[in-house]
Structure 1
Amino acid sequence: MLRSVFGSFVAIWALMTGSGIAAEVPLNFVTLDPPVGLGAQEPSFFALTDGRVVMSWTEPDGDGFAVKMAIGDHMTWTEARTITSSEDLFINWADFPSITAFPDGTLAAHWLQEAGDGAYVYDVNIALSKDEGKSWSTPIVPHQDGTQSQHGFATLIPSSEDSLVSVWLDARAYKKELLASQSTGLPDAMQLRATQLTSDGILSEDVLVDAQTCTCCQTSAAVTGDGKILVAYRNRTDAEIRDISVVRFEDGQWSSSKIVHDDNWEISGCPVNGPAIAAMGQTAVVAWFTSADDIPAVKVAFSRNSGRDFDLPIRVDLGEAAGRVDALMLSETTALVTWVEWQDAGEVIFACQVRIGETCEKEEAVTVNTGDGSVNFPRMARTVDGVYLAWTQPALEGGGHPTGEATVRVVYAKY
């Protein structure tokens, strides 16, 4: 594994709950050794019910790329298993594959497959595995429009024992004349769409969730304690205001969108910087990047009623935020938030414990990157006994692999 410029990881603080009494316990991250190779990039996590995590990533493979996965914990990992390999995968630093698991143990992975001659013509593909990734089903395309257009920034979230919800950004209405049944009446509209998929591969009809969204920011989803699915994404108005919205899926229906906070960020292009949402019980948290009034900032807001309303946000960055956030709940009152920020030392991944109604008391630098590339979009997962964090690790200046290739770094903290 390539080493960070810092040989060790600083402590961050988390909230550990038991019998209703909260106690602060330091979490010290240690480096793990998952079965990734040079050139690996864009990790994504999902926490399994047995305490392990499943991680996906991409790696060069011959003249193309492979999407790979492995299952592990802080002690051991399976071998790397290939989900798909092709010269026609759409590989992008911001729009990358993910993996999740149904409660019945079936794995579901998504990736992007080129589907035409245009630079941004690609489809979401989803495959299922009943044997922990040793074999995979024929790919399933969740959108049924049949247009050669962009379909990406997908999120998969389990919704029941044998069903998941898939959401994605869909360009079927972007610069196209469509049938009346498909048209939204909005010019150049990127849509948020969704469908459901069972662990047996049965796909429902895809539906329109929001008729006009930002074009290329990541989506994020979480499940509340009462089973409601919350999806966070960057919205877009006719006046080019691109703030963060949340929609709820309950009783088989999608709600109207709810703006988390009126930052009023007016920007004529996509910032490629999506939100993160997490939930526990009736509490949800959203973290996001904004540069309203030309002030780059990372903000965090809580909802205490399953995403119907959000408290006023707090700002957690130190003034030079690049965004690329992630979030998870440590308890029903505390979230762990990560983001990327530029400092004199380099590109820094910061983490902070944020409690409802309080400010971020101490931002902690998890690692500093001085390599030739970027850490891109760090991702977290929380299991019953610890927190995992992974990112793309560039080669260090003057001390990396001769090709300058990156790999994936994974750290773990027990709590």
Structure 2
Amino acid sequence: MLNYAFTFKKLIALVLTALLMTGAVSAQTKMVDLPPPVSDGAREPNLSRLPDGRILLSWTEPVGADFAVKTSILDGNVWSEPQTVVQADDLFVNWADFPSVAAFADGTWAAHWLQKNGISSYQYNVMVALSSDEGKTWNAPFILHDDRSQSEHGFVSFQPVEQEMMAIWLDAGSYDNQTSDEDLSNAMHLRARTLSPDGTLGPDTLIDARTCTCCQTSAALVAGSDIISVYRDRSPTEIRDIAIVRTNDRVWSTPTLVAKDGWEINGCPVNGPAVDAHDTTVAVAWFTAANNKPAVNVAFSSDGGVSFEAPLQVDFGNPQGRVDILMRDAQSAVVTWVEHGSDAEIIMVCTIKSGEGCIEPITLTTSNDGPSIGFPRMTSGKNSVFLAWTAAQETDHQNLKGGTTIRVMRFQ
């Protein structure tokens, strides 16, 4: 039976794409472009919300032969002067595994980035630094994880909880990706630990002993005190579906699946999930290509992530994934993902409600040349949603720039 609602939504998306590509802008989208104070070559943005509601942007940009991680605060429509977290010639800069900055409840900032610890491509540590003056100065950086092997450590999620910060990451201390006869103990770990504003680290805790090797993690706060985290799992038979774990009095639960997609893939798709929560309502977005059918799905939970409703497919036929999600209230969420058009990458945004699916699709932007838009990131403002992504620099005949820059947009 033909799904007329889904076909109609696909038609809406195509029309919106055409309007955007021809320069038409719908008044209903209420989009405001907020050009950030970045330099040529800026890339891999991330967003977070400060305790007072201002928006914090972090990104990476080249500085001579080095790379730097920088920040700026958006207050209303005005950006602050950029501040440098770190600048070095040995940063590990990657389109899918990028730095972040988040604030503790007391206003202290925690920043993370990746720094090489060996000569091979995937040998690097997760470094963390703290700032008590909104990024003007930073304390001496330290390594997040106990493992000191020359291997991959990354895909960090920071989640403030009460007076601490929970850090969740992928850790290759027990994984040798060059091993030909791999056994179950040779696998990437999901690990976590707490971080205090004074730099005190809690125990380095194993959450899952076998995960996909290079997909983003995501975390959210449930009912004010418990944390949930989603990530791409990896079964002994190479099924790489999305798993969720929860804390109860800081003790992590046994991992369970959000949904049984059954995606069997003999390699990492570099396409992690996203989660957000409103009290005990949880929404998870993810990409799958089970049975060779690419899809972006969203599933809701009303019990803090213990169980989930049947997934709702929200894409429009040719998704690349790279999802993010934000709960707007107890009944609805905003999800973003990247769709593949005719020689173009398209950032799609949609409001979704439990049991209804995508009810308000928006084509936010289309990129048909230059570098990839990467992984668009969202955060919530007081009455708006903010989205940042890597964009191609505009070129003209007199000032040929090329390369990358960052765009930030506010929409309602």
TM-score under structure 2 length normalisation: 0.91
Deviation at 1:252, TM superposition (A): 1.6
Pick closer, same or farther for the CA change 1:305–1:150 going to 2, 3 Å.
Answer: same
* Mapping for residues 184-203 of structure 1, pairs under 5 Å: 186-203=184-201
1:316·1:363 contact (CA, 8 Å) conserved in 2? Answer: no
* Whole-angstrom distance in 2 between the partners of 1:269 and 1:52: 39
Letter matched to residue 359 of structure 1: G
Provide the aligned length of Structure 1 versus Structure 2: 390
* Mapping for residues 174-323 of structure 1, pairs under 5 Å: 174-175=175-176, 186-323=184-321
Mean CA deviation greater in 127-136 or 26-35: 26-35
2:131·2:137 contact (CA, 8 Å) conserved in 1? Answer: yes
Query: What CA RMSD, in Å, does the superposition of the two structures yield over aligned residues?
Result: 2.0
* Whole-angstrom distance in 2 between the partners of 1:374 and 1:205: 38
Secondary structure of the structure 2 residue equivalent to 1:293? helix
* Whole-angstrom distance in 2 between the partners of 1:172 and 1:394: 36
* Mapping for residues 359-398 of structure 1, pairs under 5 Å: 359-395=357-393
1:371·1:397 contact (CA, 8 Å) conserved in 2? Answer: no
Unpaired stretches in structure 2, ≥5 consecutive residues = 1-19, 178-182
Report the equivalent of 2:102: 100
1:45·1:380 contact (CA, 8 Å) conserved in 2? Answer: yes
Deviation at 1:225, TM superposition (A): 2.2
Mean CA deviation greater in 403-412 or 238-247: 403-412
Deviation at 1:5, TM superposition (A): 5.4
Secondary structure of the structure 2 residue equivalent to 1:305? coil
Mean CA deviation greater in 231-240 or 135-144: 135-144
Letter matched to residue 166 of structure 2: V
1:116·1:122 contact (CA, 8 Å) conserved in 2? Answer: yes
Report the equivalent of 1:402: 400
Report the equivalent of 1:169: 170
* Mapping for residues 65-76 of structure 1, pairs under 5 Å: 65-76=67-78
* Whole-angstrom distance in 2 between the partners of 1:324 and 1:399: 33
Query: Which string of whole-angstrom CA distances, capped at 9 and with x for unpartnered residues, describes residues 338-383 of structure 1?
Result: 0000112621000000001112134210000112111110011102
Report the equivalent of 2:13: none
2:296·2:315 contact (CA, 8 Å) conserved in 1? Answer: yes
1:39·1:60 contact (CA, 8 Å) conserved in 2? Answer: yes
2:233·2:240 contact (CA, 8 Å) conserved in 1? Answer: yes
Deviation at 1:291, TM superposition (A): 0.3
Unpaired stretches in structure 1, ≥5 consecutive residues = 12-25, 177-184
1:372·1:397 contact (CA, 8 Å) conserved in 2? Answer: no
Deviation at 1:403, TM superposition (A): 4.1
Query: Which string of whole-angstrom CA distances, capped at 9 and with x for unpartnered residues, describes residues 127-152 of structure 1?
Result: 11100000011112111122111001
* Whole-angstrom distance in 2 between the partners of 1:386 and 1:129: 27
Secondary structure of the structure 1 residue equivalent to 2:101? strand
Letter matched to residue 391 of structure 1: W
1:373·1:395 contact (CA, 8 Å) conserved in 2? Answer: no
Letter matched to residue 199 of structure 2: G
1:10·1:366 contact (CA, 8 Å) conserved in 2? Answer: no
2:336·2:348 contact (CA, 8 Å) conserved in 1? Answer: yes
Query: Which string of whole-angstrom CA distances, capped at 9 and with x for unpartnered residues, describes residues 135-174 of structure 1?
Result: 011112111122111001111111112x101011000111
Report the equivalent of 1:341: 339
Query: Which string of whole-angstrom CA distances, capped at 9 and with x for unpartnered residues, describes residues 61-96 of structure 1?
Result: 110100000111341111010000000000000000
Report the equivalent of 1:36: 38
TM-score under structure 1 length normalisation: 0.90
Letter matched to residue 367 of structure 2: N
1:234·1:274 contact (CA, 8 Å) conserved in 2? Answer: yes
Secondary structure of the structure 2 residue equivalent to 1:203? coil
Deviation at 1:305, TM superposition (A): 0.5
* Whole-angstrom distance in 1 between the partners of 2:63 and 2:115: 15
Deviation at 1:59, TM superposition (A): 0.4
Query: Which string of whole-angstrom CA distances, capped at 9 and with x for unpartnered residues, describes residues 312-336 of structure 1?
Result: 0000001100000000010011000
Query: Which string of whole-angstrom CA distances, capped at 9 and with x for unpartnered residues, describes residues 276-299 of structure 1?
Result: 000011101000000000011100
* Whole-angstrom distance in 2 between the partners of 1:187 and 1:412: 45
* Whole-angstrom distance in 2 between the partners of 1:43 and 1:397: 21
Secondary structure of the structure 1 residue equivalent to 2:291? helix
> Which aligned segments of 4 or more residues in structure 1 are displaced greater than 4 angstroms?
4-11, 396-401
Deviation at 1:35, TM superposition (A): 0.9
Report the equivalent of 1:352: 350
Letter matched to residue 407 of structure 1: T
